[in-house]
Amino acid sequence: MLKKTLVVVLSLLQGILFAQSFNSKLFSNESGLPDLYVYSSFQDREGFLWSATTKGLVRFDGQVFHKYNARLPEGDFIYSGVDDEKGTLWFGTFAGKILKLNKKTDSLSFHSDTVVGSIDKIILSTDKSSLYFISKGNGIALLQNNKLAPLPFSQIYQVNSSIEIKAGHLLLATPEGLYLADVKQNKFKKIKGADFDIVQLQKINGQQRFLMLINGKGIVEARLDNLLESVSITELPLLSAFKDQGIACFNYNENNNLFYVATRNENLNVVNTFNNTIKTFGTKEYQAIANSIITDKDNNVWISTAGKGLYRFYKEEFDIINLDCPVFSITRDNAQNTYYGTDNGIEITNREGFHENRITKLNNKTLGKVTAIYFDGKNLWVGTENNGLHVINPANSEPVKIEFSAIENLAINSIAGVPNQNLVFVSTNLDGAYIYDSYKLKNHFSVQNSLLHNNVYYSLGCKNKNVYYATHNTAINFSKGDQVYEINLKSDNLVSDFNNFAESKDGLLAIGTDGDGVYFLKDTSITPMAANSKLDSKYCNALTYDKDGNLWIALRYNLYKYFPHNEQLKKIDLGLDNSVMFNINSIYTDKNGEIYFGTNKHVIKIKSGTDEGALPKSYIWQMKMFDTVVPMLPELQLKHRKYDITFEYSSLCLRNSEEIYFRYILEGRDNKWSEPTHSRKAEYFNLDEGEYTFKVMAYNGDGFTSNQVATYSFVIAKPFWKSIWFWLLIVILLATLVYFIVVARTAALVHAKARLEKIVDEKTHDLRLEKELVEAKNQIIEEQNKDITSSITYAKRIQEAILPDKNLSDAIKSQILIYYKPKDIVSGDFYWIAEKNNRFLFAACDCTGHGVPGAFMSMIGTTLLNKIVFDNDESNPDKIIQEMDIEVSKSLRQEDTEVNDGMEAGLCSIDMNSAEIMYSGAKRPLFYYRKSNTGDYVLEEYKADKYPIGGFSDIQDKIFTCTNINGTHGDMAYMFSDGVIDQFNSVNNKRFSTKQLRTLLEEAAKLPIQEQWQLIDRELTAWKGKNKQTDDILLIGIRL
Amino acid sequence: MRTTFLNIAFFLFCSVLMAQEVPSSQENIPYLVTFGLNSEHSWGDDDFSQTIFFMIPKGQTAPIYIRVYDPDTGGELDETNAGWNTKMKYSIYGGKGAYTDKDAQNVNPVGNYKSGVLIDSRVFGSETSTDKKWVTFGPFNPVLGEYVKNMDSYLFKLVIDGLAGDDGNLYKVFLSINPNENVSVEGANAFAFEYSVRLQSVANSVAHVYPFADPDVASFHIKCFDFDNDGQIKLYSSVKNGHLVKTNNDNEWSESKHPIKPEEKNKCLDLQIVKKGDYKNDVVFYITNEYDMPVPFYAAPLGGVPRYKYKISISSSAKAQK
């Protein structure tokens, strides 16, 4: 049976069909590497690559080399490095110094201990507790608990390389062979079976397995026995090819089974142990002697070279599977064998990529061009251009019975299916589409049952149970159950055929056309791909979604990747020449997401999808203020001013970093994120007070980001005058100021008070003294006044004594009014009354001055009147006055002295019987009130002579006149001093005046003498009020 | 003091120094020789070790390579003794102390003669892959050498030790700027304080060794080992015209004292070994001054190859006097 059904196996070809593509790049001075001598490199836990060069240590993020200054003496430089479990970075120098990176300050500091010789490598122990510092010429030193201790045994031999094969057990590669050091026990022994000059060791997975680079022998695999006594060596024939070239160093990446072997003839060889292929790079891609090779987390290989810089290699995301023939269809079976439909049957490769088989016939039929091939989970469906459809068991090529119907000899365009539903869709060239369910024909759709065209390029069963048919028509057919439906694209421009479909995870159907690009169908809504215009051709030969949801579009000559999330289209550079053309619907996506495209020459296998770890991570690595780098301290507080700040950021992505773009925002200043930019710095000018947070995100060339946001926050302080504390301070200062002013003023007042008190006291004292003095003087004065007053009072008595009223008869007294008010105790006014020869004489005199001088003058006047009247017996008033004038002048010797005193006087002589009156006056008139018949008194006013008695006078010859008046009994005659009329009142300070006196006396004359006195006194007292008495007052009257 | 004058001399002649082959073609010595540790000294090696210094001018920034011809001990060229069993270790030192350490400037491998930082080291046995081939060490950044200020050069030290075995390793070395061919480094030079060499197996052939006389040296004490009385050794300079150096027989040391005149100072002298027989002969030379301090042999003689200046006295003949 096998012979019948099988088909012919032409040969078991063992040739490898893969042609792996590698990307290489050299980083040199132009890239920012400070020196071309790179001694070693390692990747830290964050993902940065650290490289030690002669001119300094650098940290590389994929784009920017950041140099660190270790401040080493000339001739010394960092040689090796490693990061420990805590992420602390340790470095060793050529001269044996140990340095540590302080991540907070981003600066290197020296460890107190040093190693003798160069530190060629640093190894973190497997228990992460200690570090081994390997010096090729001086053994190993152990750093534990921050104390460095050399391992004595290691100094016996030159240690070319070392690995910790298990905790505390170091394998030492020496020129004399392999040694095992038990660090804890401090024991050292030679391992049997490795008596070679061993240059390099690399630990690999598996118990006590490792690789050895042996001088002159190449790279071998070794395994220590359980007793750690001997080693068994397995030759690696493929790698022995380089031993004659001299292997400088190597690195093996178990993730992708790739050995990178650098030889001393400046070649780099990549050996794939999965399929035993070797690819050698020289001259164009690589030309250097390597110092070390490492593989980073993203499978990039970094080669530190002597004098050429730093190389990066990585395997491209696509491989060429070279079958030397066109491939029209592709599928894989459960055993990971891959089937390629060619123009002459089927080519089969095994999982390693080796060519396994070739099928050119089935059921004794030559297959010819295999246009469609599909593995349904059990069996293989094979569709041909001219020889119908075949279904076989891939394990033994036995045919599987299916209901072929007429399809058996039809030209098949494509075969697709839904494996978990046992559905298979066969699209034919001339007879529409066939749907098989569990190998039984379920439906056949053709123009006879509403399919628009019988030439169906592709049929696709979708999640919504619809089966879509790409036909030679401008509308899309789909079937649901037994019915066929039509979707009109309603696009005037769409005139071409449909070639293929691909359904996304969320049910969006991508439609590839033959001349109009790509369209999308959701439910019944069809829209063209926004980026159609960017396609260099509109002929879509194959379509598929990858596991990231991105759409791969194979045009005739180019491959594109479309990113629905940002509607960006990226052309994939495969480095193919123009003669390579993608075949229609020759596409397959395996379980790993790898996509196979069949072309007219070979197969292109693409690793689709993006590893999360490979997405760029942004970080801010430097901040500048006014073009000066400042440390990015946490919780940075800046003093107030306007700042120009530049943030320099980058991304951590060691591959395709040149495609990375950024978006950033300065919260507190910007309202929205920046537009995408490839620039790695953001400048801000005149930043004023406020709280700011700078954020930056990195996106890879496809627009994907790790969503990691690098942030840095800082604060620019408010101006001090806007701060609460400032105002608080102002208040406090004001309060303090007020307080001090108050205190100062109080103190000043107190001081002034004290000073004043002192002054007052002094003045008081002085005053007291003066008071005492004054009091004493007052007392003296008082006593003197008392004496004077007493004297004056006594003089008054004398004056009163000489007044004439005592000598008058009562009858006369009753007829005479005497209103006499001295201003002081004694008076300058005086009156004189005498009876002589039956004549009654009376005089009213007003001496100059008042008080004592007046009194003196009154004494003189009285004395003179008495002398003239009685001694000289003169009765005529004019004579009396004339005589007095003379006598006064004589008495006061006024002709010889300056004494100018004198007196005014009025003198009447009344005949008691006839009532005849003789009047003479010196400046004092006579008011004579004559009683009329009506009883009223009429004033007869007799003027006095106009010169006084005594005193200076311009008149040389004073002649006093005498006026005779015929009086009548009952009439009243008044004479008075000027003190009466000169009295001021207290109301308006007016004189009493002669006028008022005339009126007063007119009233008084009517009254008895006593009442007259009372009236006059009352009126004058009322007139005076509170005023002092102006002058001595004398009013004398006589009733005839 | 010695290095000071080395420096002076170096500056004087560095512009013409281009030969970093040891032994150089000017020396007419085919190979250096180092025997395995288990060999007999009488075979021509007193200490089974050889040290060579390379001076790289400070201005050299391109990488340098140290190439060894026939580093293995096996094949046609080397001296076997009942089967190949010898391992030879080539170690290159740079960094601080590689040259300036006192023990580095000694004729015997004692004390800290492997001073400095070990940069590279390889062990060769009797493998055929390297037989009669140049093997390259490096590339080395010149700054890995020890910078000696008064020489204004970086110095590398190559130490060849016979680790084991009893065979003789014949080899020569070259300081090159190319890993694949011998291209000398401009301005560089090489020197050693002791030579263990294989002489030409040709009768009357003349080998040259160029010891440097610094201004302070008063006399050369030329020591020779295991010459087997295979000819004569003569010392030449501008004032010495073949002063005979004391020679010796098998496994013997000889020493002779040769005063140095002022005209000879600051220059290299020419120690010529005139071979008598046509058989192989491995010998050891070194020279010390009057204080027993070793004198360097330069691969390229400083001041050029010395020539004896004959004194020509001119006087009138008797006939003419008449």
All structural domains of chain A with their residue ranges: 614-722, 723-802, 807-1039
Give CA separation, B46 vs A270, B172, B193, B257, in Å: 47, 18, 14, 21
pLDDT confidence bin for B4, thresholds 50/70/90: very low
- CB-based contact A368:A384 (threshold 8 Å): yes
- CB-based contact A602:A565 (threshold 8 Å): no
CA of A79: which chain B residue's CA is closest? B144
The string of pLDDT tens digits covering residues A369-378 is 999 999 999 9
Q: Determine whether the interchain pair A307/B139 forms a contact, defined as Cβ–Cβ distance below 8 Å.
A: yes
CATH dotted code for A614-722: 2.60.40.10
Q: Determine whether the interchain pair A158/B118 forms a contact, defined as Cβ–Cβ distance below 8 Å.
A: yes
The string of pLDDT tens digits covering residues A551-601 is 999 999 999 999 888 888 888 888 778 889 999 999 999 888 889 999 998
Which of chain A's residues have a Cβ under 8 Å away from the Cβ of B84? none
Distance CA A323, CA A333 (A): 19
The string of pLDDT tens digits covering residues B180-232 is 899 999 889 999 999 999 999 999 999 999 999 999 999 999 999 999 999 99
Q: Determine whether the interchain pair A95/B117 forms a contact, defined as Cβ–Cβ distance below 8 Å.
A: yes
Query: In this model, does residue A233 exceed pLDDT 90?
Result: yes
Residue with tokens 């072997």: A261
Q: Determine whether the interchain pair B121/A176 forms a contact, defined as Cβ–Cβ distance below 8 Å.
A: no
Q: Determine whether the interchain pair B117/A75 forms a contact, defined as Cβ–Cβ distance below 8 Å.
A: no
Mean pLDDT of B291-296: 93
CA distance B118 to chain A (A): 5
The string of pLDDT tens digits covering residues A982-1022 is 898 888 888 898 989 999 998 888 888 888 989 999 998 88
**Predicted pLDDT of residue B197:** 94
Is residue A34 within 8 angstroms of chain B, CB to CB? no
The string of pLDDT tens digits covering residues A115-164 is 988 999 999 998 888 999 999 888 899 999 889 998 877 667 788 999 99
Mean pLDDT of A244-263: 89
Chains A, B: CB pairs < 8 Å: 79
Mean pLDDT of A84-112: 90
Q: Determine whether the interchain pair A94/B180 forms a contact, defined as Cβ–Cβ distance below 8 Å.
A: no
Give CA separation, A568 vs A298, A673, A695, A867, A941, in Å: 25, 19, 24, 157, 144
Return the structure tokens found at A339: 């089937």
pLDDT confidence bin for A384, thresholds 50/70/90: very high
pLDDT confidence bin for A952, thresholds 50/70/90: low
Q: Percentage of chain A surpassing pLDDT 90?
A: 35
Distance CA A553, CA A573 (A): 13
Judged on CB neighbours under 10 Å (0-12, 13-18, 19+), B231 is buried
Torsion from C-alpha of A887, A892, A898, A899, nearest 10 degrees: -100
Q: Determine whether the interchain pair B119/A176 forms a contact, defined as Cβ–Cβ distance below 8 Å.
A: no
Which of chain A's residues have a Cβ under 8 Å away from the Cβ of B149? none
Is residue A154 within 8 angstroms of chain B, CB to CB? no
Is residue A118 within 8 angstroms of chain B, CB to CB? yes
Return the structure tokens found at B38: 């288990």
pLDDT confidence bin for A4, thresholds 50/70/90: very low
Mean pLDDT (chain B, rounded): 87
The string of pLDDT tens digits covering residues B40-72 is 998 889 999 999 999 999 999 889 999 999 999
Which of chain A's residues have a Cβ under 8 Å away from the Cβ of B133? none
- A24 has which bridge partners? A313
In degrees, rounded to 5, the angle at the alpha carbon of residue A364 between the alpha carbons of residues A363 and A365 is 90
A interface mutation test: which of B64, B84, B93, B117 has the most A CBs within 10 A?
A: B117
Is residue A292 within 8 angstroms of chain B, CB to CB? no
CA of A55: which chain B residue's CA is closest? B143
Residues of chain B whose beta carbon is less than 8 angstroms from a beta carbon of chain A are 62-63, 89, 91, 93, 95-96, 114, 117-119, 121-125, 127, 129-130, 135-136, 138-141, 143-144, 146-147, 163, 179-180
The string of pLDDT tens digits covering residues A500-540 is 999 998 889 999 988 889 999 887 788 889 889 899 888 99
- Who wins on pLDDT, A834 or A52? A52
Mean pLDDT of A855-877: 85
Widest CA span in chain B: 80
CA distance A308 to chain B (A): 10
Nearest by CB: A117 against B117, B135, B143: B117
Is residue A287 within 8 angstroms of chain B, CB to CB? no
Is residue A94 within 8 angstroms of chain B, CB to CB? yes
Query: In this model, does residue A99 exceed pLDDT 60?
Result: yes
CA of A136: which chain B residue's CA is closest? B118
Pairing of strands A710-716, A636-638: parallel
Q: Determine whether the interchain pair A306/B118 forms a contact, defined as Cβ–Cβ distance below 8 Å.
A: no
Query: In this model, does residue A831 exceed pLDDT 90?
Result: no
Which of chain A's residues have a Cβ under 8 Å away from the Cβ of B61? none
Which of chain A's residues have a Cβ under 8 Å away from the Cβ of B122? 175, 197, 199, 215
- A56 has which bridge partners? A53
Q: Determine whether the interchain pair B141/A138 forms a contact, defined as Cβ–Cβ distance below 8 Å.
A: no
Q: pTM of the entire structure?
A: 0.69
B interface mutation test: which of A158, A174, A242, A291 has the most B CBs within 10 A?
A: A158
A interface mutation test: which of B144, B180, B181 has the most A CBs within 10 A?
A: B144
Query: In this model, does residue B260 exceed pLDDT 90?
Result: yes
Query: In this model, does residue A239 exceed pLDDT 80?
Result: yes
**Predicted pLDDT of residue B218:** 94
Say if A614-722 and A807-1039 have the same CATH topology: no
Question: What is the b/e burial string over A479-503, where b = at least 16 CB atoms within 10 angstroms of the residue's CB?
Answer: beeeebeebebeeeebebbbbbbbb
Nearest by CB: B147 against A75, A94, A117: A75
Identify whether B23 is preceded by a cis peptide bond (ω within 30 of 0): yes
The string of pLDDT tens digits covering residues B120-171 is 888 899 888 889 999 999 889 999 999 999 889 999 999 999 988 999 999 9
Nearest by CB: B118 against A136, A215, A216: A136
A180 phi, psi to nearest 5 deg:
-115, 130
> Strand, coil or helix: what is A883?
helix
Q: Determine whether the interchain pair B140/A137 forms a contact, defined as Cβ–Cβ distance below 8 Å.
A: no
CA of B90: which chain A residue's CA is closest? A175
Distance CA A561, CA A544 (A): 10
Nearest by CB: A306 against B63, B117, B130: B63
pLDDT confidence bin for A301, thresholds 50/70/90: very high
**Predicted pLDDT of residue A1:** 30
pLDDT confidence bin for A610, thresholds 50/70/90: low
The string of pLDDT tens digits covering residues A24-57 is 999 999 999 999 999 999 999 989 999 999 999 9
Give CA separation, A153 vs A143, A168, A180, A187, A188, in Å: 16, 14, 10, 8, 6
Sign, CA torsion A179/A182/A185/A186: positive
Q: Percentage of chain A surpassing pLDDT 70?
A: 95
Q: Determine whether the interchain pair B117/A306 forms a contact, defined as Cβ–Cβ distance below 8 Å.
A: no
The string of pLDDT tens digits covering residues A732-741 is 888 888 888 8
Nearest by CB: B123 against A95, A137, A197: A197
DSSP designation for B43:
G
**Predicted pLDDT of residue A65:** 93
Which of chain A's residues have a Cβ under 8 Å away from the Cβ of B135? 246
Return the structure tokens found at A696: 């930056």
The string of pLDDT tens digits covering residues A482-500 is 899 888 765 555 556 889 9
B interface mutation test: which of A240, A249, A266, A289 has the most B CBs within 10 A?
A: A289
Q: Percentage of chain B surpassing pLDDT 70?
A: 90
Q: Determine whether the interchain pair A289/B138 forms a contact, defined as Cβ–Cβ distance below 8 Å.
A: yes
How many of the other CB atoms lie within 10 Å of CB of B208?
A: 19
Q: SS3 for A120-139, per residue? A: CEEEECCCCCEEEEEECCCE
- A331 has which bridge partners? A339
Query: In this model, does residue B319 exceed pLDDT 60?
Result: no
Widest CA span in chain A: 214
Q: Determine whether the interchain pair B123/A175 forms a contact, defined as Cβ–Cβ distance below 8 Å.
A: yes
- CB-based contact B286:B105 (threshold 8 Å): no
Helices and strands (DSSP H and E) totals, chain A: 8, 75
Which of chain B's residues have a Cβ under 8 Å away from the Cβ of A158? 91, 118, 121
Q: Determine whether the interchain pair A264/B136 forms a contact, defined as Cβ–Cβ distance below 8 Å.
A: yes
Mean pLDDT of A209-228: 90
Give CA separation, A818 vs A514, A799, A805, A815, A1010, in Å: 162, 15, 9, 10, 9
Which of chain B's residues have a Cβ under 8 Å away from the Cβ of A54? 141, 143
Nearest by CB: A289 against B89, B130, B179: B179
CATH topology of domain A807-1039: Phosphatase 2c; domain 1 (3.60.40)
Distance CA B212, CA B151 (A): 15
**Predicted pLDDT of residue B290:** 92
Nearest by CB: A307 against B62, B125, B135: B62
Q: Determine whether the interchain pair A75/B95 forms a contact, defined as Cβ–Cβ distance below 8 Å.
A: yes
Query: In this model, does residue B113 exceed pLDDT 90?
Result: yes
Give the residue among A558, A562, A529 at the shortest CA–CA distance from A541: A558
- CB-based contact A413:A428 (threshold 8 Å): yes
Which of chain B's residues have a Cβ under 8 Å away from the Cβ of A138? 118
The ipTM, to two decimals, is 0.82
Mean pLDDT of A787-793: 75
